[in-house]
Amino acid sequence: MKFVLASNNKKKIAELRTILSALMPECEVLSLADAGITGDIEENGSTFEENSVIKASVPAKLGYIGIADDSGLCVDALDGAPGVYSARYSGNGDQANIDKLLSELYNVPDEKRTAKFVCVMSAVFSDGKTITARGEAHGVILRERRGEDGFGYDPVFYSTDLHKTFAEASADEKNKVSHRGRALAAFCDKLRSIIC
Ligand code: IMP
């Protein structure tokens, strides 16, 4: 079975492909470029669920099974921000996003720096049938970056599962406890129950 993954983020595509191929080796994941779909997808939903379905609907409208994730970081002391705006928080990319987050949290004491990553994975079929699954990973926001790997907010997200930042974890370690890994495990269970 072939899916078209509606994302242009290369690191995210790689992570999703690795996790999906372990969970559902029979599936092939094509990129938007592989399917000849060009242009940006406007993410104008107000929840992770809405944005995930908006993205997965694009390949579905062209006859493919579209899959997509929408994810972000929700910080308790910031009332859930940056949330669905995580990628666009500073308007200036990953490093500036981290700088803005650290400065917003500058006066927040250690015990109140709790946060979670959220991921909602969805599949939209060409007949409009839709499934979604959510995963979360909990942690705290450090005061400075630690680790070299990963992407986005990984260097300042200290995982309470791993006892290190996501940027200090190997890809394997991160995938086992990450919001994306957890959403994908639930997503594959739902997908199997409708296609097997
Ligand atoms: P999306 O591509 O609209 O889902 O944006 C997700 C944004 O949330 C990314 O650009 C990152 O800023 C952040 N994000 C989501 N997942 C992760 C992760 O696993 N590590 C670090 N940052 C993440």
Render pLDDT for 62-104 as a digit per residue (tens, 0 to 9).
999 999 999 999 999 999 999 999 999 999 999 999 999 999 9
> Per-residue pLDDT averaged across 159-177, rounded?
96
What is the number of other CB atoms lying within 10 angstroms of the CB of residue 171?
A: 14
Among 32, 73, 159, 172, say which to mutate for ligand 1: greatest number of ligand atoms within 8 Å of CB: 73
Q: How far is the CA of 85 from the centre of ligand 1 (A)?
A: 9
Average pLDDT of the chain, as a whole number: 93
To the query of whether residue 110 is one of the catalytic residues in this protein, the response is no
Conformation bin of residue 83: beta by default, left when phi > 0, alpha when psi is -120 to 50: left
Q: Domain locations in the chain?
A: 2-195
Q: Which atom of ligand 1 is nearest to the CA of 151?
A: 21
pLDDT, position 142 = 98
Q: How far is the CA of 50 from the centre of ligand 1 (A)?
A: 16
Residue with token string 């972000």: 72
Share of the chain above pLDDT 70, in %: 99
Q: 119-145 b/e with 16+ CB inside 10 Å = b?
A: bbbbbbbeeeebbbbbbebebbbbeeb
Residue 107 has pLDDT above 80, yes or no: yes
Using 50, 70 and 90 to split pLDDT, how confident is the model at 196? low
> Per-residue pLDDT averaged across 169-189, rounded?
94
pLDDT, position 27 = 83
Residue 159 has pLDDT above 80, yes or no: yes
Q: How far is the CA of 196 from the centre of ligand 1 (A)?
A: 31
> Per-residue pLDDT averaged across 118-129, rounded?
96
Among 32, 54, 86, say which to mutate for ligand 1: greatest number of ligand atoms within 8 Å of CB: 86
* Lowest-pLDDT range of 49-53, 139-143, 147-151, 163-167: 147-151
Q: Which atom of ligand 1 is nearest to the CA of 174?
A: 19
Residue 15 has pLDDT above 80, yes or no: no
- CATH fold of the domain at 2-195: Maf protein (3.90.950)
Q: Which atom of ligand 1 is nearest to the CA of 94?
A: 12
**Which amino acids bring their CB within 6 angstroms of ligand 1?**
9, 43, 70-73, 86-87, 97, 117, 150-154, 166, 178, 180
For residue 71 the two structure tokens come to: 């994810």
Q: Which of 69, 70, 94, 154 is catalytic?
A: 70
Using 50, 70 and 90 to split pLDDT, how confident is the model at 139? very high
Residue 28 has pLDDT above 90, yes or no: no
